[in-house]
Structure formats: C-alpha cells, structure tokens
Amino acid sequence: MTTRQTPRTTILIVDDEPSNIATLVALLGGVYELSVATSGPQALELLAGDKPDLILLDVMMPGMDGYAVCAALKQGALTRDIPVIFVTADASPASETLALAGGAVDFVHKPVNKDVLRARIRLHLELKSHHDHLEERVHQRTVELAKATDEARAADRAKTAFLGKVGHELRTPMNHVMGFTYLLGREVQGARAQELLAGVKTAQEHLLRRIEAVTDFAATQAGTLGVEVIDLNLLRLVERVEREFADEMRAKGLRLRRELAHELPPDLRGDPLRLHQVLSALMSNAVKFSGGQAGHITLRVLQAASHPGAVTLRFEVQDQGIGLTAEYQTRLYQAFEQADNSSTRAFDGLGLELALAQRTVALMGGELGFDTVEGQGSTFWFTLRMPIGQSVTAVSPTPADDAGRIDGFVAYLGHLLADGDSRARDVWQALSAVFAPVMGERMRDMQAALDAFDFALARRLLDQAVVQGRGHGERP
C-alpha cells in the first residue's frame, strides 16, 4: 500500500553572501524544502517557475536591492501574496520601516537569533495557511452561492411561467361563465332571479380580478407587462370603476363618494386598461377592509400640477376601515402578503393587488403611496403625469343599470378577443345591437376585423371605443 506524503513547505532564500546562505540552510534544511538565489534578478527568474511558501530576503545586495525585489513581488499577480521576511544586517529603524511599508510581513536582524527566526517563520507560515484556507472557503461559498442563486432564479422563472399559464387557463373558461351569465340575465325575469344573478356576477368579478392579478403579476415578473398611450375619457373610466363595485358596496352598506376637481381636463392620454386595474385594486382593498360596517369610500381625482400640454393627476381612494398596523406597513407591497396570513383570516384575497398596483404605477412613470391611521382608515393614492388628449364627441348618458349590463357584454367580448377565441364572432353577431352605441363609427371596422379573424385589431378597436367615452358615459 502506497502512503501519500504531504508536500514539504518550501522557502526561497535570497542573499548574495554565501556564509549567510550556509547559516540559513543549516538552520532550516532539515525542516523545509529550500531553494537559493544570490541576486534579485535570479530570484525573480526562479519565481517565474515555482512559487515558494515563504521568502527570506536580504536588503543589501548589488544591482537590485531587497526593497526593489519586494516591490517587484508585490506587483506580480502570482507573487504578491507570498509572505516576505527581510533578514538583514541593516538594523536601522528607517530600513525596517521601509521594508514593512514595502509589503514585508516581518524584519529579522543579522546575526540571526535561531529560535526567533524559526518562531517567526512558523508564525507566518501558519498565517498563510489560514489565509489560503479562508480564500478556498470563500471561493467554495461563492460557487455555492452562485449555484443557489441560479437555481433560485430558475425556480422563480418556472413559478412565473406557471402563474402565467394557470392564469390564462383559468381566465378562458371564466370569461365564458361570465358571458353566459350576462346572456342569461337578458332572458331571466323577476326581481329574485335578477338578485341571484347579481350575486353570481359579483362572485365572478371577484374571481376574475384575482385571475387577472395572477396573470399580470407573472407578466411583471417576466418583464412583459406592456403600457400603451391612447386617448381616454376620465369620467368614463371613473364610472366604470364605480359600477364594478356598486353591488358589493351595496351589500356591505357602503356608500361611494366621487370627488373630481372641476379643473380636470375631460380627455387625456394614457393607458386606460392599466389605470382601471390600479383603481380597481385600490377600490377592492378599500371595500375589503371596510367590511361589516356602515360608512363611505371616497374616490377622488385632483389636479396636482399643470404643464404645457399635460397635467399631473393625484388619484385617491379613501376608506373608513381598519387602517394598517405599523408591522404590516413594512411588507405592504410584498407579493402574496396580507395583513393577516393565518388560515383563519377574516379578509380573503391573494395579497397580489397592491404589489401589482405599485409595479403598474411605476411602469406608467408614477408613484403610489398611502396614509393610514390604525383603527380609522387609510387613503391610498398615486400620481401620474398624463398628456391632454383630443376631445371626444359627447353622447347622451345611459342609465346606470343598462350601463352595467353593457359593460358586462363588452368585457365578455373583450376577453374572448384577447384569448383569440372564435366565439367572439358569434357573440358579436348575436349582440351587435348592444355594441352599436359603444362602437359608434367603428362598427364597420370591427366587422371587417372579425370577418378577417384579426382578433388583435378587433380588441384594439373595442378598447379604443370604450375608453374614449363613446356609448354610455357623460363627459365631465
């Protein structure tokens, strides 16, 4: 059996005096593997091939003294970490200071004290061993951390892809359920039946908001959530949000107060879909945490600043709910976080809406924040700079109940178009009279897009018609 031997520690002696070399060899030869150089250039030449564990270096040598050799060592990437002990007859403080300042780890006077020299060598070799071991551990930990980081990123990408896929797979059948419910509402008579359908509709909207939150959150994680800038009607947008929560607020005994500053321009440019999503998230949060108590929620839009061709708006949703604890405020915008994460929590939801709202507002170039008093309520707000849009022809308002039903049909058609579902053509044909007030002059273009199976164009035409205030919805 072959025994593996540990390599002996190597020391390079650099001295131009043979007697000094002989003394050091006799002192250290039985313990260490020694090599010798009689000049600075020779030492540097040897170091180009083999790297010793420690160097004993004389100061006073012809041509290239010890200080110059040490300086050359400290400039080399492969030699700068080799510990250097000066062994010299120049015992002046200035010489010692110059040696240590140049990078030497120690300074021993000649004639050498054998015990002192051996102790100094052992000390610095131990320090070097600890240093090398530490560097190895740091490198190992760095590799492990890099691997763990790569695995975490891969897992995060897989989670994002999974969320996006699940959201899409759930949204498609949910759109059909909502569409059939709206169609059923046209056939069913009687107040009780309509009341039951209203409850179904509210539950569907709850679920759809959560599905869309999951889908959009996955898109923000993947960096694929887009923002567009088109003309929109502000009042039309606010009214859609109000109708969306009307039934739920009524069931909780809550009243909605709308406060729109009189100087607001009626027509703006921005992303109505993302703006609607953020307002819906803040309204959903306000309604959720105002449960079980009478009171009101205020939806407020103020003009914070005016610019040439643009305005900065401040949107606020103020509730009289439970407020936010100091502890929850620190994790308010973390995904999948709730004020109460226990299995018996009183308030439902995925904990995504506020996190998504913050990211969406930032994507639109704005800022989202909040003011809260625990036990008294909260005000969530966000600011956006928006260009002033082109004026849209005013139309007669539609009663709120009819507007809500039309919103449902429009939403159903929009979801079918977004999914590329060919049943969008059937819905359009069956309800073309319902869509006519919404589409206005775009009816012919919409029909042409659907005939050509260009669902992307049809979706854009529908969105433009809705957000620019055609159909039901007054101008401010």
In 3D space, the residue among 388, 390, 396 whose CA is nearest the CA of residue 440 turns out to be 396
Percent of all residues in the chain with a pLDDT value above 70, rounded to a whole number: 87
Residue 436 has pLDDT above 50, yes or no: yes
The domain that contains 273 carries what CATH number? 3.30.565.10
Domain boundary among 51, 84, 112: 112
Per the DSSP assignment, residues forming a β-bridge with 106 are 85
**472, 451: one domain:** yes
Same domain as 386, residue 262: yes
Residue 201 lies in a domain: no
Indicate whether 361 and 407 sit together in one domain. Answer: no
E strand intervals along 243-396:
254-260, 267-270, 295-307, 310-318, 367-373, 377-387
Q: pTM of the full predicted structure?
A: 0.53
In a domain, 465, yes or no: yes
Write the CA distances from 397 to 97, 400, 413, integer angstroms: 91, 9, 22
Residue 352 in domain: yes
Instruction: Output the average pLDDT for the chain.
Output: 81
Same domain, 237 and 372: yes
pLDDT at 219 over 70: yes
Tell me, yes or no, whether 381 and 419 share the same domain. no
Q: Taking residues 270-292, what's their average pLDDT?
A: 86
Amino acid code (one letter) for 33: E
The pLDDT of residue 343 is 40
Residues 235, 354 within the same domain: yes
Number of H-type helices and E-type strands within the chain? 15, 12
Residue 144, domain member (yes or no) = no
Whether 91 is in a domain gets the answer yes
* Predicted confidence (pLDDT) per residue in 128-173, tens digit: 888 888 888 898 998 888 888 888 887 777 766 776 676 667 777 7
Distance of alpha carbon 70 from alpha carbon 471, whole angstroms: 86
Residues 267 and 314 in one domain: yes
CATH number where 77 lies: 3.40.50.2300
State whether 401 and 384 are in the same domain.
no
pLDDT in tens, 54-107: 999 999 898 899 999 999 999 988 898 899 999 988 888 888 888 889 899 999
- What pLDDT was estimated at residue 183? 73
Pair (294, 408) in one structural domain = no
Token readout for 230 is 């088109």
Contact (Cβ atoms closer than 8 angstroms) between residue 462 and residue 416: no
Asked whether residue 400 carries a pLDDT value surpassing 60, the answer given is: no
Range of the domain at 453: 392-476
User: Is the peptide bond preceding residue 7 cis, with omega within 30 degrees of 0?
Assistant: no
Per residue in 461-473, pLDDT (tens digit) is 887 777 654 433 3
Confidence (pLDDT) at 253: 86
**Model confidence over 100-129: pLDDT tens digits?**
898 999 999 888 888 999 999 999 999 988
Is the pLDDT score of 431 beyond 80? no
| Same domain? 29 vs 89 | yes
Burial of 62 (0-12, 13-18, 19+ CB in 10 A): exposed
Helix or strand (DSSP H, E) at 23 = helix 18-28
How far apart CA 352 and CA 333 sit, in angstroms, is 8
Q: End of a domain among 112, 135, 165? A: 112
Residue 434 has pLDDT above 60, yes or no: yes
Degrees to nearest 5, angle at CA 240 with 238 and 242: 70
324 with 416, same domain? no
Note whether 362 and 238 are same-domain residues.
Answer: yes
> Cα torsion at 25, 27, 32, 33 (round to 10°)?
10
| Secondary structure of residue 384 in the 3-state scheme | strand
Q: Would 371 be classed as within a structural domain?
A: yes
In this prediction, what percent of the chain has a pLDDT beyond 90? 27
pLDDT in tens, 3-61: 444 568 899 999 999 999 999 999 998 889 999 999 999 999 999 888 899 999 999 89
DSSP β-ladder status, 54-57 and 10-14: parallel
Please determine, for residue 245, whether its predicted confidence score (pLDDT) is greater than 60. Answer: yes
Q: Is residue 61 part of a domain?
A: yes
Tell me, yes or no, whether 199 lies in a domain: no
* Beta strands 106-109; 33-37: pairing state: unpaired
Chain CA centroid to CA 230, Å: 27
Number of domains in the chain: 3
Locus of tokens 């006519």: 436
pLDDT of 406 > 50? The answer is: yes
At residue 1, the pLDDT reads 45
Token match 């060592």: residue?
Answer: 73
pLDDT confidence of residue 407: 66
Domain-ending residue, one of 391, 422, 448: 391
